[in-house]
Structure 1
Amino acid sequence: MTKLKIAIQKSGRLSDGSLNLIRQCGIKIPRMKGALKAEASNFPLEFLFLRDDDIPGYVQDGVADLGIVGANEAVEKDKNVDTVHHLGFSKCRLSIAIPKDKKYDGLKDLDGKSIATSYPKILGDYLKENGVTADIHEISGSVEIAPNIGLADAICDLVSTGSTLMQNNLKEVESIFDSEALMIATPGLSEEKKAIVDQLLFRINAIQTADNNKYILLNAPKENLDTIINLLPGMRSPSILPLANEEYVSIHTVIAEDDFWSKIEALKEAGAEGILVVPIEKMIL
């Protein structure tokens, strides 16, 4: 039986997000502490638990058919892989930061300075595009400490909340790259493996669509039905159900959560009441 091998970060936030997504797809993953391999019991998928910066190379070489990796690592390693899908979690940014007490008037302030980073390619490309010449000092970890020990004038590292920068008396001055989890694949997969990838993506899309939408139930006076339907069109058309009070109906529909919040006042003005907002587990269009 044909199986896909998928490489996932062995620990950390990206690993947690990847495993959570796969479990939401209904795929059962037995995981023993410290194990580097596992097989799904109900889907043709084998898992390899690796360092995140090794994943693009393993996927390029076909050791793994698929990989879930941060866009920052995919771009930095610059391997020959196909981007299959943007997964939308583990969002962060790659930013340049300098000591809090240093003045900063723009990128030109970095001319001739030393910048410590684990992402020399992304940083180098960015500086070149902006006409800045700086000395890039590549280090593999604890980048934030570099200015404090005199190793560099600035750093370029991943930022999520910014708390690590604050703890090291640094301030973010330039955001140069936005990252999120990606699914990457070995180019030229067989038709059998492509079919399994399509099955996996079908499940992932159902989950992502559900995450971005909510199921809405509300009661409304019949006389305002057209106004409310125009506010909540639903996927095609909302469901209208009769109530014991013949002057009212119950309206059921699906709407993007952001759209709902932007229309809530108009719904209330149109007489909507008893509004319920329910999360959707899966949504197939």
Structure 2
Amino acid sequence: MKPTENEQVRLAIPNKGRISQPIIDLLEKGGLHLQSSGGRKLITKTVDPMVEVLFARPIDIPEYVASGAADLGITGRDMVLERGSQVEELLDLKMGEARLVLAVPEESGITTAEEMADMTIATEFPGITARYFGDRGITPRLFPVGGACEATPYLGVADAIVDLTSSGTTLKTNHLRIIDELLSSTTIVIANSISRTSKALKIDEICLALESVLAAQGQCYLMMNVERRALDEVRNVLPGLAGPTVMDVASNEHLVAVHAVVAEERIYELISQLRKAGARDILVMPIERMIR
């Protein structure tokens, strides 16, 4: 049965930028495969006939969701705060981490925001920046830019910048010094408040799919056979979410099968320890999704 417009959930995701492909990968791993017919369309169907994906600029996604043009959106928290959109935050994807900072040239004598009353601030976030300085009773001149914000002091068009940084390397390369942090941002899932109620079942299903992928990141599934007499020693070696699962092996009463989920970073050292403890036929498998 073809879904009606009132039943279908539209998910807005970035059409470009550093988090665009990771978000698409997350949807694919969650089972929400995008059905592409050669070239990306503005609106793309998914394997679920009840869900379609809207590709949009990250800064526009909060308003698409707030207005109901999209039921769900995935974008940076900084974009939501910049727009001031009335949406519900459902899930923090813990990706695309960055800080929005106030920075000045290294040779500048400025150490606080309060010293910038008559200065020009270049930024891609005029809304957040205006509120930040307004809270301090300051109204500097704002110089909105669409990119390459860090170059504006060198070009002589700004005295300072408010910009996103992940590692701080770009700021250092451009001889800029951070004097304050306005906010920290990650990629989040947001929802329209009306859709959150009227389409709750499908929205919860989508969020569960995404959460299951996030929960599986950095985890591996271990399977092995163990002599019963060595089981306690293997248990002592083997970590797990709730302890290993132990099952009888039908073909050999002296063996048990042991399964466990362990951190991928532990695998290298665990294999050797498990062999010494008496495990054999050890199998390591990747985990795509994990629902707790």
TM-score category of the 2 structures, normalised to the smaller one: 0.7 to 0.9
Structure 1 residue 26: Cα displacement: 1.6
Paired residues, what number? 281
Structure 1 residue 217: Cα displacement: 5.3
Match of 2:12 in 1: 7
Match of 2:21 in 1: 16
Q: 2:98 aligns with which of 77, 80, 92?
A: 92
Structure 1 residue 184: Cα displacement: 0.8
- Cα shift readout 1:23-80 (whole Å, capped 9, x = no counterpart): 1122221334352121114341122211111111111111111111111001111111
CA RMSD of aligned residues (A): 3.7
Q: 1: CA distance between counterparts of 2:274 and 2:216?
A: 28
- Cα shift readout 1:163-196 (whole Å, capped 9, x = no counterpart): 4334433344433321111111111227552111
3-state SS in 2 of match to 1:93: strand
Which segment is superposed worse, 97-106 or 201-210? 97-106
Match of 1:123 in 2: 129
Match of 1:186 in 2: 192
Q: 2: CA distance between counterparts of 1:214 and 1:92?
A: 28
Q: Identity of aligned pairs, percent?
A: 30
The residue type paired with residue 254 of structure 1 is V
- Cα shift readout 1:126-156 (whole Å, capped 9, x = no counterpart): 4456x47461514131322221122221111
Match of 2:58 in 1: 52
Q: 2: CA distance between counterparts of 1:51 and 1:203?
A: 24
Q: 1:207 aligns with which of 207, 210, 213?
A: 213
Match of 1:252 in 2: 259
Q: Does 1:75 align with 2:85?
A: no
TM-score by length of 1: 0.80
Is this contact kept in 2: 1:5–1:45, CA < 8 A? Answer: yes
Is this contact kept in 2: 1:211–1:281, CA < 8 A? Answer: yes
Match of 1:174 in 2: 180
Q: 1: CA distance between counterparts of 2:173 and 2:50?
A: 45
Structure 2 CA distance for partners of 1:227 and 1:107, relative to 1, 3 Å: farther
Structure 2 CA distance for partners of 1:247 and 1:5, relative to 1, 3 Å: closer
Match of 2:244 in 1: 238
Q: 1: CA distance between counterparts of 2:196 and 2:129?
A: 36
Q: Does 1:156 align with 2:153?
A: no
The residue type paired with residue 195 of structure 1 is L
Q: 2: CA distance between counterparts of 1:115 and 1:270?
A: 61
Q: 2: CA distance between counterparts of 1:238 and 1:54?
A: 46
Gaps of 5+ in 2: none
3-state SS in 2 of match to 1:13: coil
Q: 1: CA distance between counterparts of 2:34 and 2:173?
A: 37
Q: 2: CA distance between counterparts of 1:6 and 1:54?
A: 13
Which segment is superposed worse, 117-126 or 16-25? 117-126
Which segment is superposed worse, 222-231 or 28-37? 222-231
Q: 1: CA distance between counterparts of 2:89 and 2:185?
A: 13
Which segment is superposed worse, 104-113 or 192-201? 104-113
Structure 1 residue 85: Cα displacement: 1.2
- Cα shift readout 1:207-227 (whole Å, capped 9, x = no counterpart): 111114332457889777546
Q: 1: CA distance between counterparts of 2:208 and 2:152?
A: 45
Is this contact kept in 2: 1:85–1:183, CA < 8 A? Answer: yes
Q: 2: CA distance between counterparts of 1:61 and 1:182?
A: 18
Match of 1:27 in 2: 32
Structure 2 CA distance for partners of 1:190 and 1:198, relative to 1, 3 Å: closer
3-state SS in 2 of match to 1:165: helix
Q: 1: CA distance between counterparts of 2:290 and 2:40?
A: 35
What are the within-5 Å matches in structure 2 for residues 269-284 of structure 1? Answer: 271-272=276-277, 278-284=285-291
Which segment is superposed worse, 107-116 or 197-206? 107-116
The residue type paired with residue 48 of structure 2 is N
Is this contact kept in 2: 1:207–1:281, CA < 8 A? Answer: yes
